[in-house]
């Protein structure tokens, strides 16, 4: 069975961004998204998920390269200056190309 | 000092000593929901026995008090801080800490000092105004616009206001008899749950010490001076409104307290350029414990002083 | 209407107003486990004082009632729906809602209407038969075979049946004195926990409104008509079994209620081609609130009517 | 240290599938699996994980390309028609080739 | 046998029958935190009424007892097991099970057998020594060094010791009057929460059966023989210390119990080459249920026997 | 917008390792890490996350290939012999190369 190339854009950041990120993902044309609760640490210190202000999420979207690129650009410009945030992309293969 | 405050101390010690004690996230959420609802219910039952119109002046005054505090705090904070940070911290102090309210109420009860029955309504009303003023302060003279619609929604349907007001409404509708079957959960357990929540608050506050050190002495001093000053203002307003000594002391504690449930969430969205480590550090790392251990008895003194007793 | 129902309303409003109020998932699970266990325990303690054989006719009749309801519902649902969807919805109505049972019981207690002590056993017995019949209906005339072994396991050891029967057994073994030390948790807090769970149910039910709109008026009408009809049947069966007015009213409420714990899980696995948005939408979005606000008092009327009082 | 190429098959879907997916993974020869609780949205609407019927999981298996392919095919055929489900593969490198 | 033990049985049956019943992880954590804190508080309130110095001999003896048990267990375990495994299992038995303590206490209370008020302090003191000795046993004659600093930290600020000692300290400071407002949570609900936790322990223990089968008959026999022997030792020590019959029975139960909160965590870090399936399998799969169903009454017999009554 | 190649090192293992792994990640030069609670199964049996001893975490670090390699080597040598543990790497693209 053949797989089709897509991009997976992964955004790790403050839980406060969840609503906005979901809205953005939809408006930039991602067909879906998946979110997990995570904890972690980076430039902006440790985020241990002990209480509201300290929670982080990891959001992943599978989409075509163009959508991933535009969404990433928007997220970087809108949130990266002020929020704990990590972004990366990876190449993935999907089986149902029309779905993503 | 209320015995439950020792639980805060235990949590603080555990965190500072890097113990592996950690309350599950969902327990934190569950306890917070319980406390808000229980406070609302209790207030509602008492409100039911009183014509609502008589509370109107106090309600309006409380809203005004919450809105004024950031205006007083902001210029002082601006001496050392960027606009966004000053505005955000001001917003935290304009809003209120529900747990400080609970501890103050229980302290007064232990001292046999009566308080007005509608104080939980005052708590609900004082959650939001300070936050709104803080956001306006942050945006004044800036190109960024305020999303008034989203803000209004946040203010009215944010978790804490919704649970407080929802509890109040249910309490008022069901009255004392309706409350009876749910009282074992919402009344009898209240103090114990408050103790557990304070344990968790101690664990969280202990984690703010590092941020606080980085923030420096100015903010630490503010974290002590602000509650003393705003508490005085609150006691004065309470006195002028004709509240009892207990009521004025509670209003003082509310004015002196800084929010760490509603305000951090709201400011993170509305004023993202403000550094949350500063506002949470001072609100939770300094003012909250200061109020628990020192402030609350002081506010009762204030109230007695104005009350002339 | 029981005061706890107001908590459902609060949750519903919060969800419809898109509040950020959200109960932690694990709290939902914990409350559900508590309620099932507490209902079982209470019933078991009462069963202990009564020879089990005398309950046999009622037990068998309850099982038969649960199995019949899907057979009645199915042809009506088939008028508009595919076989799998009709069968799945029929299964939900054949099974029972434990929370509806709890609210009905507490409503009757508030009205000082006595009920038979073994009703929690009836709840446990009525969980499964409707589900099994629903699955058979979905598979009749289809090439797909039913995994009877897995189904039997699911039915006997599924979370809700296990907790209800386990609680019943423990309650019967320990009796009233054994219950005493655990009563502060399992008895005194029951009503309050039920209130919290109804808050959560309101939040969940509020999320079904969208699905319901897509489902259209036929299903919404079914969600109101079915409980009224099955409630009547339940009251009649209760009357014929010689139950008290209270017992017949509870049996009516059980017959009228639709499962949203056991049935959705079971149907999702056994009849995956059925659209869960339809069955959950109507069971939780229409019938559950209908029963809370309107149905339960109606079922008491039914029971009184048959009872001739 | 050299890494060896393997496939990671990721399945995001309804929590009700967990038992079946674990059974399938084993029977198709995956040596292990990892599951996280997630929430998300896609074609079949939003799944917010508020209660049982609304929960989703993300399952990942590292295996050789042949196992991944067969397992994916089975999952697509068995569950995709009726369940909210997303599948994708990614290339990963492992250090202990005999383990996967 | 205490009624709460039936909840353990229900959990065990559910797991063995592969029921989908599963308590949320965070509920497990929350219940454990509650139990530790509640036991500490209760003990602290009672300690407050007694000069601490009088407890010193018993305290030192309990520490010594905890440290000796692994030394006795180790050579026997070495007959069949590798050094690391033998040492790790020995450590589990040297430490104590807080839930076994709670069930023993409640069993004795039901039998109207009085116990010394400071037993919760003894529990806290007996958590760690056995673990430390077990680690030393594992490392003796090995090149690997013990991280004494990390170990001391773990021992003093590990979750269970911290909550027990913290509860004791708070209880002692607030005394009976301070305890009153939080008693509905920490005292009245204790037995019910213990029942729920036992349900969860049953679910967990049921999962150890497979590991146990692989471990073979030697370890299973050890899981029954060890508590009987160490219980006898505990009762003897209690008698020699001049404890009451109840106190000696509790000390016997503590000696006979094997830790499954503190020890597994500590050993996993300090002696990673030990297979946790063995130690947890025997501690939780054999000794814990054995103590619940058989051991505790036996230890009371022991104590009565030594006590000459 | 251009992405820059980095390695993502993913470690799935017993929750008891969390503290040590975070310490190691920092000392080997990773600029950040993200952790999620997971359950799973492998060589060492099923880990269902029902209680403390039974919990697993998934930790991911984005770093340059050299750091990933050294960290992986250390983790394999220190923990793999005694702990339930899975390690793998994947290629990812990041937008802010100085951050990782
Ligand atoms: N190098 C990294 N690898 C994996 N996760 C990271 C990395 N750096 C940051 N993160 C995650 O992204 C969040 C925000 O990062 P930062 O803005 O650097 O504080 C952190 O809390 C981590 O969860
Ligand atoms: N494009 C996507 N990217 C990431 N996750 C997705 C995507 N589409 C769907 N999902 C996830 O897969 C689940 C089922 O998808 P669907 O069948 O499209 O409703 C959703 O609830 C999401 O968690
Ligand atoms: N092939 C695999 N694919 C995905 N996760 C795995 C795999 N093998 C093991 N794991 C995860 O790694 C943990 C430890 O693996 P093991 O040491 O093989 O028992 C397991 O509990 C799983 O969560
Ligand atoms: Na304030
Ligand atoms: Na029904
Ligand atoms: Na012991």
Contact between E27 and C25 using a beta-carbon 8 Å cutoff: no
- F48 has a chain E CB within 8 A of its CB: yes
Contact between F42 and D22 using a beta-carbon 8 Å cutoff: no
Q: Are A24 and A87 in contact (CB under 8 A)?
A: no
The ligand minimizing its distance to the Cα of D45 is 2
> In Å, how far is E12's CA from the nearest CA of chain F?
14
- The chain B residues in contact with chain E (CB within 8 A) are 3-4, 6-7, 10, 13-14, 17-27, 106, 184, 188-189, 191-193, 195-196, 199
In this structure, the number of other CB atoms found within 10 A of the CB of residue C112 comes to 7
What residues in C contact D49, CB-CB < 8 Å? 25
Q: Is residue C142 over pLDDT 80?
A: no
The vertex-C6 CA angle with C3 and C12, nearest 5°, equals 160
Q: What band does C68 get if pLDDT is binned at 50, 70 and 90?
A: very high
- D38 has a chain C CB within 8 A of its CB: no
What residues in B contact C12, CB-CB < 8 Å? none
From the list B204, B269, B277, the residue facing A16 with the nearest CB is: B269
Pairing state between β D4-14 and A4-14: unpaired
> In Å, how far is F94's CA from the nearest CA of chain A?
5
Q: Using the 8-state DSSP alphabet, how is residue A91 labeled?
A: E
Q: Is residue A1 over pLDDT 80?
A: no
Q: For residue D48, give the nearest of D92, D10, D14, D87 by alpha carbon.
A: D14
Give the pLDDT of residue F25.
97
CB of D91 within 6 A of ligand 2: the answer is no
The vertex-C244 CA angle with C243 and C246, nearest 5°, equals 115
Contact between A51 and B22 using a beta-carbon 8 Å cutoff: no
Distance C14 CA to ligand 4 centre (A): 26
Give the pLDDT of residue B309.
64
- A41 has a chain F CB within 8 A of its CB: yes
Give the pLDDT of residue E15.
96
- CA–CA distance, E106 with E100 (Å, rounded to integer): 10
CATH code that applies to domain C3-307: 1.20.1530.20
What average pLDDT is seen over chain B?
94
Give the pLDDT of residue E52.
75
What residues in D contact F38, CB-CB < 8 Å? 34-36
Give the pLDDT of residue E309.
64
Q: Is residue D1 over pLDDT 90?
A: no
SS3 of residue B257 by DSSP: coil
Mean pLDDT, residues B202-223 taken together: 92
In this structure, the number of other CB atoms found within 10 A of the CB of residue B98 comes to 27
Mean pLDDT, residues C6-15 taken together: 97
Mean pLDDT, residues D2-28 taken together: 96
Task: Please tell me which chains touch F, using 3 or more CB pairs under 8 Å as the contact test.
Answer: A, D, E
Contact between B157 and C189 using a beta-carbon 8 Å cutoff: no
Residue among E2, E10, E18, E29 with most chain C CBs within 10 A, to mutate: E10
SS3 of residue F40 by DSSP: strand
Q: Is residue C165 over pLDDT 80?
A: yes
Give the pLDDT of residue E221.
97
Mean pLDDT, residues C77-92 taken together: 97
pLDDT tens-place values along chain E, 309 residues long: 688 999 999 999 999 999 999 999 999 999 999 999 999 999 999 888 877 788 899 999 999 999 999 999 999 999 999 999 999 999 999 999 999 999 999 999 999 999 998 999 999 999 999 999 999 999 987 777 888 888 888 888 889 999 999 999 999 999 999 999 999 999 999 999 999 999 999 999 999 988 888 888 999 999 999 999 999 999 999 999 999 999 999 999 999 999 988 899 999 999 999 999 999 999 999 999 999 999 999 999 999 999 876
- The chain C residues in contact with chain B (CB within 8 A) are 3-4, 6-7, 10, 13-14, 17-27, 106, 184, 188-189, 191-193, 195-196, 199
Q: Tell the burial category of B242 from Cβ atoms under 10 Å away from its Cβ (0-12, 13-18, 19+).
A: exposed
Task: Please tell me which chains touch B, using 3 or more CB pairs under 8 Å as the contact test.
Answer: A, C, E
What residues in B contact E153, CB-CB < 8 Å? 17-18
> What residue spans define the domains of chain E?
3-307
Instruction: Give helix C25-47 / helix C98-110 axis angle, nearest 10°.
Output: 60
Q: Are C231 and C255 in contact (CB under 8 A)?
A: yes
H/E stretch holding D56: strand D56-63
Which tokens belong to E141?
């004659």
Q: For residue B91, give the nearest of B224, B249, B265 by alpha carbon.
A: B265
Location of structure tokens 């050993």: E267
Task: Please tell me which chains touch C, using 3 or more CB pairs under 8 Å as the contact test.
Answer: B, D, E
Q: For residue E140, give the nearest of E74, E95, E184 by alpha carbon.
A: E74
Contact between C181 and E192 using a beta-carbon 8 Å cutoff: yes
**Helix boundaries (H) for A1-100:** 18-27, 65-79
For residue A58, the cross-strand partners are: A12, A36
What residues in B contact E30, CB-CB < 8 Å? 23-24, 27
pLDDT digits (tens, 9 = 90+) for F19-52: 999 999 999 999 999 999 999 999 999 999 998 8
Widest CA span in chain F: 45
Q: Is residue C147 over pLDDT 90?
A: no
CB of F83 within 6 A of ligand 1: the answer is no
Location of structure tokens 């204030």: B302
Show Cβ contacts of residue A62 under 8 Å, excluding neighbours closer than 6 positions. A6, A7, A8, A30, A31, A32, A92, A94, A100, D86, D88
- F82 has a chain E CB within 8 A of its CB: yes
The ligand minimizing its distance to the Cα of A34 is 2
Distances, alpha carbon E192 to alpha carbons B33, B212, C26, in Å: 22, 42, 19
Show Cβ contacts of residue C56 under 8 Å, excluding neighbours closer than 6 positions. none
- Give the predicted TM-score (pTM) of the model: 0.97
- CA–CA distance, C153 with C156 (Å, rounded to integer): 5
Q: Tell the burial category of E307 from Cβ atoms under 10 Å away from its Cβ (0-12, 13-18, 19+).
A: middle
SS3 of residue F29 by DSSP: coil
Long-range CB contacts (within 8 A, 24+) of F44-49: F44/F84, F45/E277, F45/F84, F47/F14, F47/F84, F48/E207, F49/E25
Contact between C277 and D45 using a beta-carbon 8 Å cutoff: yes
Q: Are E204 and E14 in contact (CB under 8 A)?
A: no
CB of A97 within 6 A of ligand 2: the answer is no
The vertex-B40 CA angle with B38 and B45, nearest 5°, equals 95
End-to-end CA distance of chain F: 17
Instruction: Give helix C296-307 / helix C98-110 axis angle, nearest 10°.
Output: 60
Which tokens belong to B136?
């306006």
Residue among E1, E3, E206 with most chain C CBs within 10 A, to mutate: E3
CATH architecture for segment(s) F4-93: 2-Layer Sandwich (3.30)
Q: Are C280 and C288 in contact (CB under 8 A)?
A: no
The string of DSSP letters for chain C reads: --TTHHHHHHHHHHHHTT-S----HHHHHHHHHHHHHHHHHHHHHHHTTS-GGGGHHHHHHHHHHHHHHHHHHHHHHHTTS-HHHHHHHHHHHHS--HHHHHHHHHHHHHTT----TTHHHHHHHHHSHHHHHHHHHHHTTSSPPP-HHHHHHHHHHSHHHHHHHHHHHHHHHHHHHHHGGGHIIIIITHHHHHHHHHHHHHHHHHTTHHHHHHH-HHHHHHHHHHHHHHHHHHHHHHHHTT--HHHHHHHHHHHH---SSHHHHHHHHH-TTS-HHHHHHHIIIIIHHHIIIIIHHHHHHHHHHHHT-
Q: Is residue B26 over pLDDT 90?
A: yes
Distances, alpha carbon D97 to alpha carbons A91, D2, E252, F85, in Å: 22, 10, 51, 14
Q: What band does C307 get if pLDDT is binned at 50, 70 and 90?
A: confident
Mean pLDDT, residues B15-36 taken together: 95
Q: Is residue C309 over pLDDT 70?
A: no
Distance A43 CA to ligand 3 centre (A): 30
For D33-51, the three-class secondary structure string (H helix, E strand, C coil) is EEEEEEEEEECCEEECCCC
Q: Are E71 and E64 in contact (CB under 8 A)?
A: no
Contact between C192 and B181 using a beta-carbon 8 Å cutoff: yes
> What residue spans define the domains of chain D?
4-93
Distance F32 CA to ligand 1 centre (A): 5
Mean pLDDT, residues D9-15 taken together: 98
**Which ligand 1 atom is nearest residue F100's CA?**
1
Give the pLDDT of residue C210.
87
């Amino acid at each position: 069975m053949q797989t089709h190339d897509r991009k997976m854009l992964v955004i790790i950041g403050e839980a406060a961004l969840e609503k906005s990120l979901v809205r953005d993902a939809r408006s930039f044309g991602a067909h879906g998204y998946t979110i997990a609760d995570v904890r972690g640490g980076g430039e902006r210190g440790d985020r241990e998920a002990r209480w509201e202000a300290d929670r982080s999420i990891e959001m992943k979207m599978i989409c075509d390269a163009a959508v991933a690129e535009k969404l990433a650009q928007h997220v970087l410009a809108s949130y990266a200056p002020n929020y704990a945030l990590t972004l990366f992309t990876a190449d993935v293969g999907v089986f149902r190309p029309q779905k993503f | 000092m209320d015995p439950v405050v020792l639980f805060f101390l235990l949590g603080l010690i555990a965190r500072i000593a890097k113990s592996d004690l950690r309350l599950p996230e969902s327990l934190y959420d569950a306890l917070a929901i319980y406390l808000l609802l229980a406070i609302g219910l209790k207030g509602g039952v008492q409100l039911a026995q009183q014509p609502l119109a008589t509370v109107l002046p106090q309600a309006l005054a409380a809203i005004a008090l919450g809105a004024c505090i950031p205006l007083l705090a902001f210029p002082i904070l601006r001496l050392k801080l960027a606009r966004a940070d000053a505005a955000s911290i001001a917003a935290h102090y304009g809003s209120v800490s529900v747990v400080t309210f609970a501890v103050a109420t229980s302290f007064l009860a232990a001292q046999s000092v009566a308080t007005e029955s509608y104080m939980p309504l005052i708590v609900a009303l004082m959650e939001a105004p300070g936050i709104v003023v803080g956001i306006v302060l942050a945006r004044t003279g800036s190109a960024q616009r305020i999303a008034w619609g989203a803000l209004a929604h946040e203010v009215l349907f944010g978790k804490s206001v919704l649970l407080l007001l929802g509890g109040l409404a249910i309490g008022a509708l069901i009255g004392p008899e309706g409350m009876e079957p749910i009282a074992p959960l919402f009344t009898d357990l209240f103090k114990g749950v408050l103790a557990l929540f304070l344990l968790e608050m101690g664990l969280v506050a202990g984690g703010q010490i590092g941020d606080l050190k980085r923030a420096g002495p100015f903010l630490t001093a503010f974290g002590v001076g602000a509650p003393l000053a705003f508490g005085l203002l609150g006691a004065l307003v309470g006195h002028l409104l004709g509240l009892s000594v207990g009521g004025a002391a509670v209003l003082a504690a509310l004015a002196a307290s800084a929010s760490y449930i509603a305000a951090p969430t709201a400011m993170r969205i509305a004023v993202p350029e403000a550094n949350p480590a500063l506002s949470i550090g001072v609100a939770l790392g300094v003012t909250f414990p200061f109020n628990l251990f020192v402030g609350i008895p002081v506010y009762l003194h204030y109230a007695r002083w104005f009350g002339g007793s």
